[in-house]
Amino acid sequence: MPARMRTTTRLRTALAVVVEDGRDQSGVPAAHQVSWPTVQRAVVVHAAAELVEPEPTTVLGMDETRFGRPRWRPDGVHDDGRIRWARTDPWETGFVDIIGDQALLGQVDGRTSAAVQAWLAARPEASGTRSRWW
């Protein structure tokens, strides 16, 4: 077992493969006698190893999707001691290959220009120049 780990690499790989094969992630912990966060961490590590950077596309599509309704969360305290509240809007922006066969290329939280620019800037360079994403 790796240092400071409570599960073996083989068990974590098996948990991720079971979820990848289509089993509902909520039923896997009970079947393998582990916690849900253990399964989630295994799936995240497995996915990071399996997923590759998408190829550049000539026509990039963006789609904004709202998940649920707006929520209010605590955001500090006013000078008089009252709690300051901030509204959160659960939006995500998806990037798709419109004319190719790659489908969904990536997804980021929010629907701001900063989120879009950050995703585009994080794409690797090709042949010494910025990959063509638009």
Burial 62-79 (b: 16+ CB within 10 A, else e): eeeeeeeeeeeeeeeeee
Kindly tell me the burial class for residue 15, based on how many C-beta atoms sit within 10 Å of its own C-beta (0-12, 13-18, 19 or more). Answer: buried
71 and 98, same domain (yes or no): yes
- If asked whether residues 69 and 125 sit together in one domain, one would say yes
For residue 119, being part of any structural domain is answered with yes
Domain count, the chain: 2
Q: Decide: 42 and 62 in contact? Cβ < 8 Å.
A: no
- Calculate helix-pair angle for 36-50, 9-20, nearest 10 degrees: 80
The domain in which residue 125 lies consists of: 60-130
Q: Which tens digits make up the pLDDT trace of 4-35?
A: 777 888 898 899 999 888 888 788 888 888 98
The verdict on residue 2 lying in a domain is no
Q: What is the pLDDT of residues 93-134, one digit of tens each?
A: 999 988 888 888 889 988 889 999 999 888 876 544 444 555
Q: Are residues 66 and 113 in the same domain?
A: yes
In a domain, 3, yes or no: no
Same domain (yes/no): 70, 126:
yes
Q: Is the pTM of this model over 0.85?
A: no
Same-domain status, 26 and 68:
no
Please indicate, yes or no, whether residues 96 and 44 belong to a single structural domain of this protein: no
